[in-house]
Structure 1
């Protein structure tokens, strides 16, 4: 029976049971796992994302300790996704603290290109993720349905934008506070799902200015089998440029005000590759093996 090392990490938090959970499966280069089994493992874990990391360019008993470059894929309980920030952070943390990789920076080859993660002090990490600036959407009946399901009503003053790559919809009501966003009780109904499918929406971000941070948000993705994601790194590749335009700054302290909650630090001073820097912390919660 095959056995693989698996680690569960809470990302974007300094303490256990906060932030966002991700499972990280270490897949040796000589023992690949097929796509169907990866999806089955992600469904078995039944958390927002399960990440699979494989050493590239090096092989042998020390490949996880010595490699600088890894393949990385992310699966929700129902599908593979193009980009996942918190599971990337979790993968870097698992490599450093559970698999013995002491490199200051590691590279992940992914469906979104090469991602670079720097390891800092005290379980902190800096990820360079591809920026995905949103643009205004045409307000269709489906867009009105989505906004009403998330915010409770549609108003003409609500600003709605969509990111071109990830297809995340940003919903911003200037009259709502961070406390209002935290209290939202969205209706994740069949009507919402159908409207999102027609608009090719993968996730919806509700956001507002915050009294304690620069901005706050929540993220809903029933189209990927995730009613609400606790803390979403990839959403901040969209929120960074969104709030840069409105606040006139390039460094942000953000808070995702889900039930678990988590802090995300964002910097939008883009380099030549157009990356946005996402900073966060992580802690290991579970360490073991998976058998199948």
Structure 2
């Protein structure tokens, strides 16, 4: 099975978020895909299967622990692989996923995601969340799906987001928790964020496209502008070029390839 690793949301190697991309004629057994993702030990491994229609592909995403319904950086990585190793003539690529058909426009070296908008559901903070944060957030909201709840906490400033020291056991213990997002108005960019998902086997995700489907409508409302530049301030870090389009959001990012090879896998033991 052909295998690539691409750093998404970055123009430099060892920055942004690395995603594995596997290409095959059909999806392997679900157990095998999960084992491959566990062995790769990246935040997401994408599995890509070409359809008969040109420019259309089936796409699945796995963390080291489970299959997920939406992933931005591994979608950009998949588009990079398609453009560079499958069909360089494509200017638009359609991925058929658990979140419906997702389209990427190729403006080399920029790849632009078209994702569904997921507006925030506002909620009251809890004692447990305040204990995890070590303070009372400015505002809290959430999104809910079949996997669990993503909790969002708005902090006072960028420094608080950058300096937060996570206790992963406490984050994992938040009831129904799939992940915790911290965000604040940025010093240089429009807003910043960090994302922790220990329940999914990812303590801190370097750059996360999917959380921006909620952060974009939130910050559009707060800042009164529909075009935004975001930075995820993890250790690796990455920049996202965002636009709110009503029921959809646009998320643009760069990508650079780190690895090309083959996986030597047989039937699931």
Task: Give the TM-score of the pair, scaled to structure 2.
Answer: 0.94
Equivalent-residue separation in structure 2 for 1:38 and 1:269 (angstroms):
34
Q: Which has the higher strand share?
A: 2
The yes-or-no answer on 1:126 pairing with 2:104 is no
For residues 263-292 of structure 1, the C-alpha deviation after alignment (integer angstroms, 9 at most, x for no partner) is 00110022xxx2110000000000011011
The 5 A counterparts of 1:28-177 are 28-29=25-26, 32-57=27-52, 67-121=54-108, 123-139=109-125, 143-149=126-132, 151-153=133-135, 155=136, 158-165=138-145, 167-173=149-155, 175=156, 177=157
Identify the residue that residue 258 of structure 2 maps to in structure 1: 285
Residue 130 of structure 1: CA displacement? 0.9
The yes-or-no answer on 1:254 pairing with 2:234 is no
> Contact conserved, 1:133 with 1:164, CA < 8 A, in 2?
no
Equivalent-residue separation in structure 1 for 2:130 and 2:96 (angstroms):
35
> Contact conserved, 2:193 with 2:233, CA < 8 A, in 1?
yes
Structure showing greater radius of gyration is 1
Unaligned runs of 5+ in 2: none
Secondary structure, aligned partner of 1:179: helix
Equivalent position to 2:4, from 2, 7, 10: 7
The yes-or-no answer on 1:215 pairing with 2:215 is no
Equivalent-residue separation in structure 2 for 1:224 and 1:147 (angstroms):
22
Runs of 4+ in 1 over 4 A off after TM superposition: none
> Contact conserved, 1:152 with 1:186, CA < 8 A, in 2?
no
Residue 101 of structure 1: CA displacement? 4.1
Unaligned runs of 5+ in 1: 59-66
Superposition RMSD on alpha carbons, in Å? 1.4
Secondary structure, aligned partner of 1:39: helix
Identify the residue that residue 161 of structure 2 maps to in structure 1: 181
Q: How many residues align?
A: 263
For residues 81-126 of structure 1, the C-alpha deviation after alignment (integer angstroms, 9 at most, x for no partner) is 11000000000001111233421101000011110001002x2111
> Contact conserved, 2:172 with 2:197, CA < 8 A, in 1?
no
Equivalent position to 1:206, from 182, 185, 210: 182
